[in-house]
Amino acid sequence: MLKVETKEVAPITPPNTPDSPAHNAQALTQIEGSISTKDAYSSLWTINCPSTRSVYRQQIICEFLHCIDPRTLQVQTPLTPSKADSWKSWFTMLPSHPNFTTALEATVLAICTAKLGRVNNDPALVHESLKFYIQGLWELQKALYSPELMYKDETAASCMALIGYEVMECPDKTITAWVKHVHGCARLFEARGPDAYSSEFGHELFLAFRQMEVRNSILATLSSRS
């Protein structure tokens, strides 16, 4: 079981109903272009309407993907994975992903706002990403103790997102948290069993984690020989 020490912050308000693609498209048409990414992240702390919330979230994720590769701005399916960035395959599915748990939303937004803050030289946005990260830790801990949420794809994706945030930001300036997230993620992926990776999203998560584990094992072996 992945255990973390964290402090509680103002919770992200979960949607009252699951995101609906039809509702999302309608809301996107209504407010697309009327909000700025810089302000969108703060709105997510208070928005209750699922469709509006989904639009704000989608905008931030797409802007993040655009920072990495402009071709992914309107992405709906995963890119062809490469050795350097296979983790992006599951991440590029997020703009069209139909279900977001509070843990997945918080951890993904932590990565996105951190990157956007760095790219735009905005310390306030980077600081805001830490709030999402702390909230993500809290929500993930609750999900891991929930029989309903523990083995969901979104919980596994949350673990992967936390690993990504540690690689990007390393808030404690040590690898301790990264190591804990990797070990916890490994236990979760094993506990989920092979049937959990039959969906496209679940399979992409598995491929990304497998590549990360293989790379870590190779590095550990090379380090032990040096």
pLDDT for the residue 3 = 43
169 part of a folded domain: yes
Domain membership of residue 50 (yes or no) is yes
With respect to residue 213, please indicate whether it lies within any of the assigned structural domains.
yes
Q: Which of 2-6, 107-111, 165-169, 207-211 has the lowest mean pLDDT?
A: 2-6
Average pLDDT, the chain: 76
In a domain, 12, yes or no: no
For 157, the domain range is 21-225
Q: How confident is the model over 142-180, as pLDDT tens digits? A: 999 999 999 999 999 999 999 999 988 988 888 888 888
Q: How many CB atoms lie within 10 A of CB 5?
A: 8
Q: Please, what is the Cα angle at 54 between 48 and 58, to 5 degrees?
A: 145
Q: Which residue has the higher pLDDT, 223 or 149?
A: 149
Q: Which pairs from 166-170 meet CB under 8 Å and 24+ separation?
A: 168/111, 168/114, 168/115, 169/114, 169/126, 169/129, 169/130, 169/133
Q: What are the pLDDT digits (tens) for 1-58?
A: 444 334 344 444 444 444 444 444 443 333 333 345 555 555 566 777 777 888 888 8
Number of domains in the chain: 1
The reply to whether 188 falls in a domain is yes
Which residue's entry shows tokens 């094992």? 217
Give the Cα separation of 24 and 165 in Å (integer). Answer: 27
This prediction's pTM:
0.73
Q: Which two tokens stand for residue 19?
A: 């995101």
Does 3 map to a domain? no
